[in-house]
Structure 1
Amino acid sequence: MKRFPYAHATHPQWRMAAALVLAQLRAQMALPGHASQPSLGLLYITDHYAADAQDLLDHLGAELPEVTDWAGTVGVGIASNNVEYIDEPALAVMLCDLAPHQYRVFSGVAPLAATQAADGFVPQTALVHADGATPDVADLIAEMAQRTVSHYVFGGLAASRGPTVQFARSSHGALAGSGRRGAAGVFHGGLSGVAFGPDVRLLSRVTQGVRPLAPAHRIDRADHHVVLQLDGHPALDVLLQDLSITLDEPPAAVQRLRQTLVGLTAPHTPQPRGVQVPGALGDDVLVRHLIGLDPARRGVAIADTVPEGGRLLFCERHVQAARADLMRICAEIREELEPVALPAADMAAAPAPAERIVGAVYVSCSGRGGPHFGAPSAELQIVRHALGDVPLIGFFAGGEIAHHRLYGYTGVLTVFTAEEAAKPSVGS
């Protein structure tokens, strides 16, 4: 597998931005070590181009006829290696060096088959784009994960102040009767994306952007979205104690409550993998908004169904915690790609092959990005510093997808890897 060509550009007119992107892609496709005949394209646009999504996709498809399949979506911002474009017209494209039998683009008119398709394709994992306005979208994401062997999917919710569009153009066709709608490749609502087979090597990690304000509490009693009892005490009393506030001073209390988020962990959740940064949340924690108080029942209302028997902690967004956790997941990925050191007794054996990153997708919360990390493009610069100059694109989402869950205030980093080519020995 060769390095994925990628490109990004900004311009008030989408045709000019597309021309800049195409020039970059063609230059890379002519370089040694880069894919010259990629068949899968990933496309992310900011919402400035959303109204022209169909024309843009048709234009790229005509200019890159070797790319037969496309997937992507819209965000309030997009990302590429070392740079982010937030609240400005921009697009980013990455062309993946994958054989057609290694992936399947899916959508509402070309759904992903459960476990194995009629042609023998087996989905190991999937990049998923979804419309957050779709009813029961979290359940649909969980169902999509069940259609893969790993039960792990990654991606995010489209984010747009205009049309919420998804790109999903498949060379494998669509359901009978879908006609032009399936061939056009631009969709509104539902889920779409691209599934990858077992021979596509991927590493994926989730990074949180908040820190806890107090230790986690056991959820003893809840009523749908309202937590009623934590550790045997009224939930509202626990909240006020953890935040060191009182309702006798409403202005100060309201200001503090607006800054407070809630982390939820389901019952019987195993400990997160990897080394955890002190004070940071693992990827077993789902961060949700605190949406109100219930003084009559001494309860706390949360923007999600609360699982009795699970764990809850109150938290807040925090720049240093976000930076440290992002550096952690990059370090974990880098360490997994390094050759395994062999004991002295096994020195005669061949070392495990090193792997290199040939492409990456980064989906971050629309509430993160440069402003949260302290400077324009600071979040992407951390990734670049940790992973090096690798092909990377992504978008700023209305919710992030990883495992089988819908997250918030997180980043999901996924890299495509390939075995490092063996270096010739001296004298060969």
Structure 2
Amino acid sequence: MGFLTAVPNQDPRQIVRHFTPNWFAANMGTGILALMLALFPYGHWGQKLLAQGLWGINCAFFVLFSLLFLGRALFYPNSFRRLFEHPVQSLFLGAIPMGLATIINGFLIIWPTNAGTVAWALGLWWVDVLLAVTSVLLVPFFMFTRHAHSMERMTAAWLLPIVPPEVTAASGGLVAPHVGIAMAQTIVYLSYILWGISVLLAMGVLAILLLRLTLHKLPHQDMAVSAWLPLGPLGTGAMAMITLGNADPAIFAGSLADMAHFAELAGVMVALLLWGFGLWWMLMAIFFTLRYLREGLPFNMGWWGFTFPLGVFNSATYLLADKTGFWLFLPLGAAFTVLLAFFWVLVTRKSFAGMWSGQLFRAPCLSEETGLPQTCGDTPAGRPDLISTLRQ
């Protein structure tokens, strides 16, 4: 628990009590940067070692964040339950399976593939399936029944709980070629179902988002970085189509061989279409960000939205370069990796400054946007002695 005691002027109990799932966005951003560094096509300056180091740090922080999140659930159950009713913080529950997916992919991309890494990737993939399905079912249910939402206050953050299934599907396409045929078929079929759930829901949200931006203009500065979030479902949707298409021919044979060939070719075409749509969103996000910078852009954990959406779009670019051989994709992918690294350094530096000051350890159970009180209003559920041990 050295991390807790290293933050000045912060009661470790309050760090646990105020811990929110948006911290897992740091896992998403760090993990995707590690993967993109491992795939960087130019130069031999040790990026593989750097990718392995970042991946290891990402794993350590994922474990720490998971313990803090479970600690809040165990010791502060009242505020933990209220997290699900919060119209903004609850959306970040989807960051947990997406952060885990970067660790799964790292076993197969960053490290040499062997029986051990495949076993870890397969086991964690099933955990990721459970978390992704929980996110895509539970959070929308609360949105439909408990949250207070309106068109004017809608942002691309609505995508966060529904994107995890397609992220898991993309990982499934990486895992499937390394396991037995029966298991691989199960993974691929399930991944296509997860893709259908997530991408189609995301397209509906994007249509609403276009209407919201047209009618009500840009959201508040606190949600400025959400302009980059549409790159997430479009990038991972394209990734999944290619990784699953790559896995299909080796898995399906006999009467399904024609379907496997079609799926591989169709996957590339669908990925191209999604990539083109993503390019438009990326350019719009750049324009929006430049406008926000003129008005002032306050830092919050949402700034990690600069990283993962760009990173998965970057990954789709590399995959398209490999599948199509089109000359533009590879240098564009390298440029996106450089931009991703710049964003990661910027956001990491600001995150550590926010942790040091304690600013980032104040999680509202009720957001400012709702105009309601911002207190979690509970006690350690009869476990003060256990909580006090966190001080050590």
Length-normalised TM-score, structure 1: 0.31
**Higher strand fraction: Structure 1 or Structure 2?**
1
Q: Which has the greater radius of gyration?
A: 1
Higher relative contact order (CA 8 A, sep 6+): 2
**Higher helix fraction: Structure 1 or Structure 2?**
2
Length-normalised TM-score, structure 2: 0.33
